[in-house]
Amino acid sequence: MSQPTEIAPPPAGADLHAPVARLLRPLVRLLVQRGITFPALTNLLRELYVNVAEYDFALPGKEQTDSRVSLLTGIHRKEVRRLRGAGAPVSQVPATVSRTSRIIARWVAAPEFTDGQGRPLPLPRSAENNAPSFENLVEGVTKDVRPRAVLDEWLDRGLAILDAEGRVRLLEAAYLPKDGAEPQLYYFGRNLHDHIAAAAENVAGPSPRFFERAVHYDGLSGALAARLEERAREIAMGALREANAEAHAACEEDAGGRHRWNFGIYIYREEVPAREPAPEPASEGGEGRTP
Q: What is the pTM of this model?
A: 0.73
CA 84 to chain centre: 28
CB 248 within 8 A of CB 109: yes
CB 173 within 8 A of CB 241: yes
pLDDT in tens, the chain (291 residues): 555 555 555 566 788 899 999 999 999 999 999 889 999 999 989 999 999 999 899 999 999 999 999 999 999 999 999 988 665 555 566 666 778 888 988 998 888 999 877 789 999 999 988 899 999 999 999 988 999 999 998 998 888 999 999 999 998 655 677 777 777 888 888 899 999 999 999 999 888 899 999 999 999 999 999 999 999 999 998 999 899 889 988 998 999 999 999 999 999 999 987 666 555 555 445 555 444
Q: CA-based Rg of the chain, rounded to a whole angstrom? A: 25
